[in-house]
A and B are shown apart, each in its own frame.
Chain A
Amino acid sequence: MANPMRIRAAAKDGITEVRVLMNHEMETGQRRDASGAIVPAWFIQEVSARLNDKDVMSAQWGPSIAKNPYFAFKIKGGKAGDTVSVTWVDNRGDTRTDNAKVT
């Protein structure tokens, strides 16, 4: 199981700004290791977010997203005490979901 994400969600003026820091290698499949063998691609392909069990955001990523991805987006609505959850799925089928309370 992958390491947890760090999620910050802050509501202000009817907009909840969500900032997520994920733990992932985001290996491109272009790089070679010391012995010259290609390091297989390993990256997050899909990201989605929910606000209190309602799907609000989805994205598809390629390996051009930087290692340990940072992702920020703005939800219309939301208030302090709401729950934001973020899920990613990588190309190996590994997945992780983490939650944060809106402040």
Chain B
Amino acid sequence: MIDIERRRALKAGGILAAFAAAGLLPAGRARAAWNKAAFEGKTVQEALASIGASTTAASDDVQIIASDIAENGAVVPVQVVSRVPGTTQIVLFVEKNPNVLAGIFDIGPDIAADVTTRIKMMQTSNVAAVVKADGRFLASIKEIKVTLGGCGG
């Protein structure tokens, strides 16, 4: 009997260790906030639903600044600027990447709605920026052509 209990305990410990290794256990306060469901979304719709955006409207006040053609898909500079009043979040998607969500940027009162980063693109794809403002979701889409893929190379 004692042996069985011990085995159970060891097994449970093993499962926990496996979860930790897979990054499924939050280590500390900061990591608990990471929106796992959204980042695992395989389609833009899936990922949008995970951030609470069921409907989006196209808007000229959301601007994606990037070149039309990226020579190297591993490093594609992208800037997103929102002129929507009350912007609280900028969310960046790459439609044809295995996981479509690239990043969620919280726009607090101390930050301008203007962020720049560099993304990976597996292939030519639409890049979408969705802006959350006053509970509404406004979107802009830009196609970026990739001549050399950036995932798996």
Q: Given that A54-B110, A66-B76, A73-B112 are contacting pairs, would A30 and B151 also be in contact in the complex, using a CB cutoff of 8 Å? A: yes
Beyond the given pairs A57-B110, A60-B35, 15 more chain A to chain B contacts, judged by CB atoms under 8 angstroms and listed by A's residue number, are A30-B98, A56-B110, A57-B106, A60-B34, A60-B103, A60-B104, A61-B102, A62-B102, A65-B103, A65-B119, A67-B75, A70-B116, A73-B111, A73-B114, A93-B23
Query: B residues within 8 Å of A by Cβ?
Result: 23, 27-28, 30-31, 33-35, 39, 74-77, 79, 94, 97-99, 101-106, 108-112, 114-121, 150-153
Q: Is the interface of A mostly helix, strand, loop or mixed?
A: strand
A51 at the A/B interface (Cβ < 8 Å)?
yes
**CB atoms of A62 and B99 under 8 A apart:** yes
Contact of B110 among A41, A76, A93 (CB under 8 A): A76
**CB atoms of B112 and A74 under 8 A apart:** yes
Query: A residues within 8 Å of B by Cβ?
Result: 15, 26, 28, 30-32, 41, 45-46, 48, 51, 54-67, 69-77, 89, 91-93, 95
Contact of B111 among A45, A56, A92 (CB under 8 A): A56
Chain A: minimal CB distance from B118 (Å) = 4
Chain A: minimal CB distance from B93 (Å) = 9
Q: Given that A30-B152, A31-B151, A64-B119 are contacting pairs, would A59 and B98 also be in contact in the complex, using a CB cutoff of 8 Å? A: no
Tell me how many residue pairs across A and B have CB atoms closer than 8 Å: 121
**CB atoms of B74 and A67 under 8 A apart:** yes
Chain B: minimal CB distance from A67 (Å) = 7
Task: State in angstroms the CA–CA spacing of A55 and B106 once bound together.
Answer: 12
